[in-house]
Amino acid sequence: MASARVIVFLDYQNVYNGAREAFDLRGHPSRYGQIDPLQLAGLVVARHPEESHLAGVRVYRGRPDSARQPQAYGANMRQSDVQEKRGRGLVEVITRTLRYPYDWPKTPAQEKGIDVALAVDFVTMAASGTYDVGVLMSTDTDLVPALEAVIGLGGRPYPRCEVAMWSRPGAYSRRLYVPGKKLWCHWLNPDDYATVEDLTDYNLPSS
């Protein structure tokens, strides 16, 4: 059988917040929790139980408005650019402008449409045969229907979906699951995080 094409889908803010929570990083500077998408995806594929190769990494995240939050916008742009350049043509960052409530900045801006964009791509790319195995890293339960849809395609053996999540020994770790279905989870522990972390301060202008 030919090597399976794996695409890893990252709900980036969820992955970031999950790392800070799982590994007690919330008291650290904001750069703690950042990851290198290519390294993370490579780690997942290297441990895959079948013959496979990384066919792509898709990073979904909100982007601050350049007029309202110019510094945060610049940091977001610099980080996305670095992730794609390091990705050697495999990493693509998909963004949507944040939604700003009427009482911003008292109420923080929020991501809008990111989960929908990720879910649509996850399903349509499976249906079109773009990937054999799609690995989704998030704990957002709004994405469960996307997993259900790919499972419903009845791939034998492909397309198939899997999930990934952070895990700390001795602590409860959340993961996405589909009731009544076997869904492989790639658990990533503290040592794994240390391997893929990116402590670059993107608030600083590029030299």
Q: What is the CATH number of the domain that holds 118?
A: 3.40.50
The answer to the question of residue 175 being in a domain is: no
Q: From residue 61, how far is each of 1, 6, 122, 138, 183 by CA, in Å?
A: 35, 20, 15, 12, 24
How many structural domains comprise the chain? Answer: 1
Q: What is the pLDDT of residues 160-180, one digit of tens each?
A: 999 999 999 888 889 999 999
**133: buried, middle or exposed (CB in 10 Å: 19+, 13-18, 0-12)?**
buried
Q: The domain containing residue 59 runs over which residues?
A: 4-137+144-170+185-196
* Contact between residue 134 and residue 122 where contact means Cβ atoms under 8 Å apart: yes
Residue 165 is assigned to a structural domain of this protein = yes
CA atoms within 13 Å, Cβ hemisphere of 29: 7
- Does residue 30 lie in a domain region? yes
Residue 204 lies in a domain: no
105-117 confidence digits (pLDDT tens): 999 999 999 999 9
Could you read off the pLDDT of 2-37 as tens digits, one per residue? 899 999 999 999 999 999 999 999 999 999 999 999
Question: Is 16 inside any structural domain?
Answer: yes
pLDDT grade for 207, boundaries at 50, 70 and 90: low
Q: Comparing 156 with 119, which gets the higher pLDDT? A: 119
Q: How confident is the model at residue 44 (pLDDT cuts 50, 70, 90)?
A: very high
Terminal alpha carbon distance of the chain: 47
- The answer as to whether 45 is a domain residue is yes
Residue 201 lies in a domain: no
